[in-house]
Amino acid sequence: MIGLIVARSKNNVIGKGGEIPWRIKGEQKQFKELTTGNVVVMGRRSYEEIGHPLPNRETIVVSRTKQFEGQGVRTAGSVREAIELAHGKDVFIAGGCGLYREVIPFVDVMYITEVDLVIEDGDVFFPEFNEEDFEKTIGETLGDEIRYTRTEYLRKKQAFSDSSGCAVKVALCEDNEWLLSEDAFAIYSQCMYHATYEDYTTQMNVLLADPSVKVFVCESQGTKTGMMVLDYADEIVEIVGIAVSGDTRRKGIGRKMIRSVMETENLQSIKAQTDEDSIGFYRKCGFSEEKTVIEYPDGAAVRYNCILKTGRL
Ligand X SMILES: NC(=O)c1ccc[n+]([C@@H]2O[C@H](COP(=O)([O-])OP(=O)(O)OC[C@H]3O[C@@H](n4cnc5c(N)ncnc54)[C@H](OP(=O)(O)O)[C@@H]3O)[C@@H](O)[C@H]2O)c1
Nearer to ligand X, 31 or 216 (CB): 31
Which is it for the CA torsion 50, 53, 55, 56, positive or negative?
positive
CA distances from 274 to 110, 197, 257 (A): 39, 17, 17
**Nearest approach, Cβ of residue 116 and ligand X (Å):** 14
**Nearest approach, Cβ of residue 50 and ligand X (Å):** 9
Nearer to ligand X, 49 or 210 (CB): 49
**Nearest approach, Cβ of residue 245 and ligand X (Å):** 25
Start-end of H helices in the chain = 29-35, 44-50, 79-85, 97-103, 163-171, 181-191, 197-209, 223-231, 246-250, 253-262, 279-284
Nearer to ligand X, 183 or 199 (CB): 183
CA 262 vs. chain centroid, Å, equals: 21
**Nearest approach, Cβ of residue 185 and ligand X (Å):** 22
CA 140 vs. chain centroid, Å, equals: 29
Residue 178: its H or E element: strand 177-178
**Nearest approach, Cβ of residue 8 and ligand X (Å):** 6
In degrees and rounded to multiples of 5, residue 175 shows phi and psi of 50, 50
Can you spell out the DSSP letters for 22-33? ---TTTTHHHHH
> Which amino acid is present at 241?
G
Residue 209 makes CB contacts below 8 A (sequence gap 6+) with none
Nearer to ligand X, 17 or 297 (CB): 17
Nearer to ligand X, 48 or 289 (CB): 48
CA 114 vs. chain centroid, Å, equals: 26
**Nearest approach, Cβ of residue 127 and ligand X (Å):** 10
Nearer to ligand X, 4 or 242 (CB): 4
Q: Which residue is nearest to ligand X (CB)?
A: 96
| Residues linked to residue 93 through DSSP beta bridges, in sequence order | 4, 41
**Nearest approach, Cβ of residue 28 and ligand X (Å):** 9
Rounded Cα distance, 174 and 28, in Å: 32
Q: How many residues does the chain have?
A: 313
Nearer to ligand X, 4 or 262 (CB): 4
Interacting residues with ligand X (CB under 6 A): 6-7, 14-15, 18-20, 42-46, 49, 62-66, 77-79, 94-99, 102, 124
